[in-house]
Amino acid sequence: MKRVFLAVLITAAAVILVQAGENGRRGVSITTNDDSMSDDCSQHLQVHQNDFKSLVRGEETRALPNQPLTIHAEHNGGIQLSTWDKPEFSIKLCKQVASDDDAQGRKVLDQTTLAIDGSTVSVKAPENQNDYSMGTLLLVRAPRDATLDMDVHNGGISVRRFTGTAKAEAQNGGISLKQSTGKLTVHAQNGGITIQDCGGDVDARVENGGLSLKLPERWDGKGLEAHTQNGGLVVDVPRNLASGLEVSGSEHVSIICKGDICDNGQRTWDNSHRIFHFGSGSTQIRATTVNGGIVIRDRSKDTI
């Protein structure tokens, strides 16, 4: 099996991964959806088999005590993290295989398992066998104020309704933060980051990808530092923003501001920076881009 990723797109609703086989004709698409808070794998992971004849799915769940965890996704898989009311972790591996027959697919499912080594969680999967395509997703339910370190390669990370400390690293993939708070440190290389209605102490950095922010009226916590290099920046600002916001770019960055929110912005143009400042009080939210355009929009238009 040889899997080559053609595209990785992260939006507020889903991470979409598009694969193709070695000859480019036997492709599949894999969609992971973070809209649902259910632990039903079928609501989060869908492999669309195109010209494969068989599609089978399976899952495996393990409980772990509350401790700092390191979680590595399967090489082309994703992670979805949220907080629940129980004192332990729940780790569920969702897996789905597209192949030419059920027996082949179920064999691959059986060989794809959770691997737990102390405080490290990973996915053990077969390497370069036969002609099939597989999608995997780790659904992680964490105790309140848990601590995690997560990474993916050619996949996405979604953090939704989480409270705690989390680091997330994505290479060739995207990261989504929604309705989450705590100390959150996220880095995406060759992929985008979206942040919506969050709080706490958040540091988000992107290399070669876009950055999208949908801000609450008041940032509850230390603040947000969000930076992208070689990517565009979109900021949706509520009309009654009570927290200080600074949006800036280098001298060659174009800035477009749309909606009534622009009337309240203070503009500073100098030889090296272009800066918009919104809200009141000290600056809690800073968003910058280098080598990418900026769009600032009125959130009341509900634009993303």
The per-residue pLDDT string of the chain (304 residues; one tens digit each, 9 = 90 and over) reads 333 222 233 333 344 343 333 334 345 577 777 777 788 898 888 887 677 888 999 999 999 999 999 999 998 899 999 999 999 999 999 999 998 889 989 999 999 999 999 999 999 999 866 688 899 999 999 999 999 999 999 999 999 999 999 999 999 999 999 999 999 999 999 999 999 999 999 999 999 999 999 999 999 999 999 999 999 999 999 988 999 999 999 877 888 999 888 887 888 876 677 888 998 778 999 999 998 899 999 987 544 4
3-state secondary structure of 160: strand
CA–CA gap between residue 279 and residue 243 (Å, rounded): 5
3-state secondary structure of 50: coil
pLDDT at 239: 87
- For residue 163, what are its two tokens? 């409270």
Q: Is 205 exposed, middle or buried (0-12, 13-18, 19+ CB in 10 A)?
A: middle
* Amino acid in position 24: G
Bridge partners, 117 (sequence order): 120
Taking a C-beta distance cutoff of 8 angstroms, is the pair 100, 50 a contact?
Answer: no
* Amino acid in position 10: I
- CA terminus-to-terminus distance, the chain: 37
CA angle, residues 104, 110, 113, in degrees to nearest 5: 135
